[in-house]
Structure 1
Amino acid sequence: MTSTAQRGCPHLAGSADPVHVLGPDFVQDPFPVLEQLRAEGPVHLVRLPSGAERWLITRYDDVVAALGDPRLSNELARGVQQNLPPEPLPPRAQVTLRTTRILGRAMANLDPPDHDRLRKLIVRSFSAKRVEDLRPRVQRSTEALFDAVADATEFDLVEAVADRLPITVICELLGVPTDDADLFRTAASVVGGYMADDEAALRTVAALEAFDVYVRDLIAARRAAPQPDLISDLVTAEGDGQPLTEDELVSMVGIVLFGGYEPSAQLIGNALLALLQHSDQLAALRADPTLLPAAVEEALRYDGPVTPGLSRYALEDVEIGGTTIPKGSYVMVGTAAANRDPEHWPDPGTFDITRPATARSLGFGHGLHYCVGARLAALEVETVIATALRRYPRLRLAVPAEDLVYRQGSVRGVREIPLRVG
């Protein structure tokens, strides 16, 4: 649900625009609210379920333009210090500060030229050829995860597969020992989730601290004895003739982890769930497996994991559709709303894996900051779906779809997806 409140918002440059409050049930089905806001106008001031207030951009053309607008900076840390409350910092503010310090020097959180310098060091690790070379490893890992529940007539897709495959692949790429994967999984999970209370926030701070210490130790080990892994490649790499600083290395490892784990894990669940909820589409895919890449692309458009969108920081006043977003504001570039814009997709609320390509989904971003791991994420989702459909001819939900609960957070996904296979 959304309601409207009228009040000023100091960290949004004193704006007195009406605030659309996105209630706690927004995450269960955000699309009716996003449809309403998109129909009413291209830009709205909203209060997220977390309590944070953002300017939300809702229409496809405006979202595409915003993702390429240099006035809307990826360097979110620019506004962190001025918006922090006085010391001693409450737990949620500690999370914000700690996350910024760990990820602040990652390419995804930088503007050119720093972004370009760092991106070119890692983009080759996710090239089409390198990702395709990973296909056998991804398939083996997927089979092993399904093997672990082979005797069960029911199991939770999230716990058994979706939460485990991406972290396994990312840790292999980085060179993180299998025994330490849970530390990385915990760190990634807490950053993508929503902190319901101070206790949860303090657990998040502790997880981030442990991650930071571990990665710095791993970097030191790779400096002393490089291995055939991504961390070693980054340690020995030079951007424009200069080696990466330790803070840049930690941030790069962090963004590979957080970007490669949470969105992939949630997209696995969202994609398979969409198929199970639309029996005609599932039957079409079973009849023609070549539709699988299109099915993943449609799932990314229909119910992508990043909801409501990608965060930016306004370096100056930005006017969109007659509304001025003030300098110093945080902005949510609404990719989820844009992906269902009827100006670009006919009947956008329908899940259709044979949909003509009338526009490009923005689920992995757009332009300069398009996700470098998009191919790998798609490969993981395709592999899980193909393997599940091959192994389980009678695959179905074990509970009514309306009983599924979505977790709060910047990356939207279902907490549990119980499947019945017998």
Structure 2
Amino acid sequence: MTQMQEQETADATAQAVDAASRGCPVYRSNPHPLYRHLRDNAPVSRLTPPHGVETYLVTRFEDAKAALADPRISKDMYAAIDAYRSIFGDSSIALDDNMLFADPPKHSRLRRIVNRAFIPRRIEALRPRIQEITDNLLDRCTTLEPVDLLSSFAFPLPLQVICELIGVPESEREDVQKWCSVVARTGFSKEDKARLAEAENTLREYFEVLIARKRKSPEDDLLSVLIQTRDEQESLNDGELLSTLWVLLFAGHKTTAYLIGNAVYTLLTHPEQLERVIASPELLPNAIEEVIRFEGSVENATFRHALEDITIAGTRIPKGALVQIAVTSANRDPAEFESPDTFDITRPGLQSSHLGFGTGPHYCLGAPLARMEMQIALATFFRRFPNASLAFPVADTEWLKVPFPAFRGLTKLPIVLDPSKAIDDWASGLPGAE
């Protein structure tokens, strides 16, 4: 490489790092070329994000997978309290005393308790109710005008499912979704943090009231079980109970909502792949895994920080710095996936290879539930609307523009529905189908 080429590469890398730090519009609409450049030229990049805390972005698959399981990279944001306050503000602390922001042995204890919500028997028991919610939501989708599938279907479905699991009354779910939406889309400005604090305080107050109601009149739901665990075994303190409820609601809702939207969008923009799924519905489970790899809803794993000086891909990360793991980039690393920018629903070995649900001790506890929701949602949608189409040019697609994002998702998804050619028996052979 000539000196001029080296300078051009250095300049392009600096621009890519700056774009990643600021979340510029071009980057947000299509981050994949930027990640490709970083993987090739700066696989671990020092960022200067809006929250002002020194941060290192890991972009290659092998490094990302190792970092997700590295005990030297902590999830305990309370141990990095100054960084935590700079990013989230004081109002978040009461809601984040949970397994998502904890290390062993605390993480192990909390995960073991919450795991009872996600045993196969309990998840499978939700299947008929998930199908019922799916059918009801799609029944209400108008066929006369384009429908925003995000607001009408993709968001309400997982919210109602997780609320059903937890025990949030149906009449209160719309407010809960509104508050969660503020938390998910908030940036780092003073005004954003004020809105974040207000929404979090409102959610905390709501949870406190809900816990009090369930303690007085327990029902057959997860929150009642957690309260019983708290009161009888003292395995959860009051703060942990509150924040565990928060992480179940938040993590079990947003990621799946955006993933449903991403899946419908990706299949509609790859019609030859959709035709294969329609022709062979047994391909749907693998198609879902390929969506998670190709255009998953988790762009960056939740914040971690270095407990000591560490070196990844030749870059020194100092003790106390944040470590951000770019899952979206790792899942398109050609060193791990052949032709990674090609959407291929027949790609082998996906469920055990992509990092869409993480890896290591913090592997997503709700992955089986998310997969079931995705399968039911997509099977039902494409059975009823096999001729559905985007109601906008692909060039006008709007992706989330939150800086330094955790989520990769659309802001809206207008769809033209055509129920006249519904396929009555499509997907009848899928697992769990009657």
TM-score (norm 2): 0.87
Q: 1:405, 1:32 → 2: CA distance?
A: 17
One-letter amino acid of the counterpart of residue 167, structure 1: L
Alignment pair present for 1:256 and 2:266: no
Matches within 5 A, 1:155-234: 155-195=147-187, 197-234=189-226
Alignment pair present for 1:80 and 2:90: no
TM-score (norm 1): 0.89
Moved more, 181-190 or 362-371: 181-190
Q: In structure 2, what is the equivalent of residue 375 of structure 1?
A: 368
User: SS at the partner of 1:310?
Assistant: coil
**Pairwise CA distance, 1:204:** 2.0
Alignment pair present for 1:4 and 2:5: no
Q: In structure 2, what is the equivalent of residue 343 of structure 1?
A: 335
CA deviations over 1:258-298 (Å, ceiling 9, x no partner): 11011000000011111001011000000011111111110
User: SS at the partner of 1:399?
Assistant: coil
Gaps in structure 2 of 5+ consecutive residues: 1-10, 419-434
Matches within 5 A, 1:121-160: 121-160=113-152
CA deviations over 1:244-268 (Å, ceiling 9, x no partner): 1110011100000111011000000
Change (3 A) 1:82 1:29: closer
Q: 1:39, 1:223 → 2: CA distance?
A: 55
Change (3 A) 1:263 1:23: closer
Q: 1:336, 1:201 → 2: CA distance?
A: 26
Alignment size in residue pairs: 403
**Pairwise CA distance, 1:23:** 4.0
Q: 1:152, 1:2 → 2: CA distance?
A: 47
Alignment pair present for 1:357 and 2:353: no
Matches within 5 A, 1:253-332: 253-332=245-324
Q: In structure 2, what is the equivalent of residue 14 of structure 1?
A: none
Q: 1:366, 1:122 → 2: CA distance?
A: 18
Change (3 A) 1:336 1:310: farther
CA deviations over 1:182-238 (Å, ceiling 9, x no partner): 232123222221337543432221111111011111112222221111111001115
Gaps in structure 1 of 5+ consecutive residues: 6-16, 86-92
Moved more, 154-163 or 378-387: 378-387
Alignment pair present for 1:386 and 2:379: yes
Change (3 A) 1:382 1:47: farther
Moved more, 347-356 or 203-212: 203-212
Q: 1:114, 1:263 → 2: CA distance?
A: 24
Q: 2:410, 2:12 → 1: CA distance?
A: 21
State which of 325, 332, 335 in structure 2 corresponds to 1:333.
Answer: 325
Q: 2:66, 2:48 → 1: CA distance?
A: 23
User: SS at the partner of 1:44?
Assistant: strand
Decide whether the 8 Å contact of 1:22 with 1:46 is kept in 2: no
CA deviations over 1:149-181 (Å, ceiling 9, x no partner): 244342010011011111111111111111111
Change (3 A) 1:197 1:41: closer
Q: In structure 2, what is the equivalent of residue 29 of structure 1?
A: 30
CA deviations over 1:335-382 (Å, ceiling 9, x no partner): 111111111110001111101227611111101111111111111122
**Pairwise CA distance, 1:61:** 1.3
Root-mean-square deviation over aligned CA pairs: 2.4
**Pairwise CA distance, 1:48:** 4.3
User: SS at the partner of 2:14?
Assistant: strand
Alignment pair present for 1:403 and 2:382: no
Q: 1:155, 1:20 → 2: CA distance?
A: 32
Q: 1:400, 1:59 → 2: CA distance?
A: 32
**Pairwise CA distance, 1:135:** 1.1
**Pairwise CA distance, 1:324:** 1.0
User: SS at the partner of 1:206?
Assistant: helix
Decide whether the 8 Å contact of 1:19 with 1:46 is kept in 2: no
Change (3 A) 1:153 1:312: same
CA deviations over 1:72-117 (Å, ceiling 9, x no partner): 00112322336757xxxxxxx6x432223211x2111110011111
Q: 1:309, 1:276 → 2: CA distance?
A: 27
Matches within 5 A, 1:95-134: 95-103=88-96, 105-134=97-126
Q: 1:129, 1:98 → 2: CA distance?
A: 36
Greater per-residue helix proportion: 2
Decide whether the 8 Å contact of 1:3 with 1:20 is kept in 2: no
Change (3 A) 1:226 1:286: same
Decide whether the 8 Å contact of 1:338 with 1:362 is kept in 2: yes
Decide whether the 8 Å contact of 1:118 with 1:239 is kept in 2: no
Greater per-residue strand proportion: 1
User: SS at the partner of 2:293?
Assistant: helix
Decide whether the 8 Å contact of 1:310 with 1:335 is kept in 2: no
Q: In structure 2, what is the equivalent of residue 8 of structure 1?
A: none
Alignment pair present for 1:55 and 2:56: yes
